[in-house]
């Protein structure tokens, strides 16, 4: 029988952990947070307060309150009587193996331990646990308090029951969960992003386009469609009445030819300098302070519109 989740431990309260905290509180859950960094509690409470208006716009569940947040300097204190753990520590394998070993030793075997890791394999993270069957990946997309996606992946020793418990929990709090069938570095979404970044950096490196050119090309082109539908559904719709079969019959060859011509850049100091300089040129004529609140406002508009349509996945 699955454990009912009423109290969540958020371990690590940086950018991702703070975002998760705001979201869990908005879902009417109790949150026990911990982070060893100096000043972590004050930063967390300030961040949650700043994000709360977005949570109110999305819709607060009954009982939702910032007062249900408790901060603990000690990890073990934060884990007492919790029903689910969302870990958001540094992206360092040795660190996570040790951390998960300590959390595993402190909690009943039916409490899911989920990691927000962006790319580590959960089979390695769970390797020092006595109860590795309850360790899963619960990778959100940044920022978790707004973006619905969570990638849920089990490791070599994760049980189907605990994987389902994690999926059910994320679904119950309004997340859109996907379960990749195999463990791979970077999971699904980050690998897809990395493929785009690879060619973007290559085009800048080769002088084909500037940072601004590429951002405009995506944000005013395919990015608008990708906000609504995924790559395969967009291909299907581009095929007209013949659908994706028609599209691939006509463009499959050219697409394959483009694949063969894609670049293979290296993240050299010169390339990093070039990208950073061009980014600063773009920002010189923009009000950077408005980017995050405007991004969040528009994200909420898109998410609300998709939900209202009832048709788009």
Q: What is the pLDDT of residues 257-306, one digit of tens each?
A: 999 999 999 999 999 999 999 999 999 988 888 888 899 999 999 989 98
Instruction: Tell me whether residue 1 is in a domain.
Output: no
Contacts of 273 (CB under 8 A, 6+ apart): none
Out of 114, 149, 178, pick the residue that ends a domain: 178
Assess whether 115 and 241 both reside in one domain: no
Instruction: Tell me whether residue 260 is in a domain.
Output: yes
Q: What is the dihedral of CA 31, 35, 37, 41, to 10 degrees?
A: 20
Domain that residue 57 falls in: 7-178
Assess whether 71 and 200 both reside in one domain: no
Assess whether 110 and 235 both reside in one domain: no
Q: What is the pLDDT of residues 15-40, one digit of tens each?
A: 999 999 999 999 999 999 999 999 99
Residues of the chain with pLDDT > 90: what percent? Answer: 90
Assess whether 167 and 224 both reside in one domain: no
Instruction: Tell me whether residue 2 is in a domain.
Output: no
Give the pLDDT mean for 204-232.
96
Q: What is the pLDDT of residue 309?
A: 86
Q: What is the pLDDT of residue 311?
A: 80
Out of 178, 207, 239, pick the residue that ends a domain: 178
Out of 150, 178, 206, pick the residue that ends a domain: 178
Q: What is the pLDDT of residues 169-185, one digit of tens each?
A: 999 999 999 998 889 98
Assess whether 145 and 197 both reside in one domain: no
pTM, two decimals, is 0.91
Residue 312: pLDDT band with limits 50, 70, 90? confident
Assess whether 282 and 170 both reside in one domain: no
Assess whether 141 and 222 both reside in one domain: no
Instruction: Tell me whether residue 293 is in a domain.
Output: yes
Instruction: Count how many domains the chain has.
Output: 2
Instruction: Tell me whether residue 253 is in a domain.
Output: yes
| CATH, residue 279 | 1.10.1040.10
Note the Cα 223 to chain centre separation in Å. Answer: 18
Instruction: Tell me whether residue 184 is in a domain.
Output: no
Q: What is the pLDDT of residues 88-123, one digit of tens each?
A: 999 999 999 999 999 999 999 999 999 999 989 999
Assess whether 141 and 219 both reside in one domain: no
Averaged pLDDT of the chain: 95
| CATH, residue 109 | 3.40.50.720
Residues of the chain with pLDDT > 70: what percent? Answer: 100
Q: What is the pLDDT of residue 181?
A: 86
């Amino acid at each position: 029988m699955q454990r009912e989740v009423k109290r969540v431990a958020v371990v690590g309260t940086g950018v991702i952990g703070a975002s998760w905290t705001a979201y869990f509180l908005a879902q009417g859950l109790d949150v026990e947070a911990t982070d060893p960094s100096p000043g972590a509690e004050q930063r967390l409470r300030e961040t949650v307060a700043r994000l709360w208006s977005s949570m109110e716009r999305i819709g607060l569940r009954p009982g939702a309150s910032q007062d249900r947040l408790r901060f603990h300097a000690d990890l073990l204190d934060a884990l007492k009587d919790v029903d689910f753990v969302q870990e958001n520590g540094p992206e360092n394998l040795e660190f996570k193996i040790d951390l998960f070993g300590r959390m595993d030793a402190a909690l009943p075997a039916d409490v899911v331990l989920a990691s927000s890791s962006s790319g580590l394999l959960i089979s390695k993270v769970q390797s020092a646990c006595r109860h590795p069957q309850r360790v899963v990946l619960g990778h959100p997309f940044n920022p978790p308090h707004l973006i619905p996606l969570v990638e849920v992946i089990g490791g070599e020793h994760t049980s189907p029951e605990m994987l389902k418990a994690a999926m059910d929990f994320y679904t119950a709090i309004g997340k859109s969960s996907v379960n990749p069938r195999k463990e791979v570095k970077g999971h699904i979404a980050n690998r897809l992003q990395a493929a785009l970044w690879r060619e973007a950096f290559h085009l800048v490196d080769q002088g084909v386009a500037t940072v601004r050119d590429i951002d405009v090309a995506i944000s005013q082109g395919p990015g608008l469609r990708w906000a609504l539908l995924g790559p395969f559904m967009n291909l299907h719709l581009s095929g007209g009445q013949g659908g994706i079969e028609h599209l691939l019959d006509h463009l499959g060859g050219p697409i394959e030819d483009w694949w063969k011509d894609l670049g293979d850049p290296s993240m050299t100091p010169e390339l990093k300098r070039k990208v950073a300089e061009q980014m600063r040129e773009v920002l010189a004529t923009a009000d950077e302070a408005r980017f995050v609140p405007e991004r969040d406002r528009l994200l909420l508009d898109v998410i609300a519109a998709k939900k209202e349509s009832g048709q788009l996945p």
